[in-house]
Structure 1
């Protein structure tokens, strides 16, 4: 595991969101809102086509971030997520995210810390479509991480 440092940042690989992704997510969570699954209806909306579920895009951004080395086996549990959705993800869009370690502090339990990660989710045109923060409990294996 690479040591965590405040200000450390990584860009994820891109992931194209396909029709199967949207259908699978709809079935998984039971959300069959027409804007996601009914192309005829979706053509009548300002988007002009179906869009991915916001939480699906958020989860994809977080999932892709697990490949950056900023999480790994150090993550123990999720504490909080705060997320803003400023743009839609259409079927065929490719998203990626910039992830930054915004805060890292030890907790009262030895060897554990609270890490805050900032996310900026971008589409293939480099437009920001989501922004969020995720707080997780992490294992602090390095003395520098633990603030010693």
Structure 2
């Protein structure tokens, strides 16, 4: 496991968000809101096209961040997730995640610690479209 160093930042590889991603997510969670699945409707919105579900891009960012070595087998529980959605992810956008270790502190339980990560979802234009903070219980190093 990669040691956690407060202030350490890693950037994931990119991933293009496609129609299949949106359709699978819509079916999985039951969210068929027209802005996500109806191009004719979505063309009438300020975005001009369909956009990915916010939680889909959030989940993709967390998933892409697992490859950084900062999560992996050390994470044993989610404590809190706080997320903001300042921009939209359109179908065809390529996003990547940037994750920074903000804090690591001992837990009240032996062998455990609490880690706080700050995440950003950044599109192909280097625009931050989502930001979040994730607090997890980890195995103590």
Q: TM-score range by the shorter chain?
A: over 0.9
Question: What is the CA distance between 1:92 and its match in structure 2?
Answer: 0.3
Larger Rg: 1
- Aligned pairs (5 A) from 1:135-146: 135-141=135-141
Moved over 4 A (4+): none
SS of aligned partner of 1:113: strand
Question: What is the distance in 2 between the residues matched to 1:9 and 1:128?
Answer: 15
- Aligned pairs (5 A) from 1:1-148: 1-141=1-141
SS of aligned partner of 1:28: helix
Listed one character per residue, the Cα deviations across residues 11-53 of structure 1 (whole Å, up to 9, x for unaligned) are 0110100000000000000000000000000000000000000
- CA RMSD between the two structures: 0.5
Length, aligned pairs only: 141
TM-score by length of 2: 0.99
Question: What is the CA distance between 1:108 and its match in structure 2?
Answer: 1.1
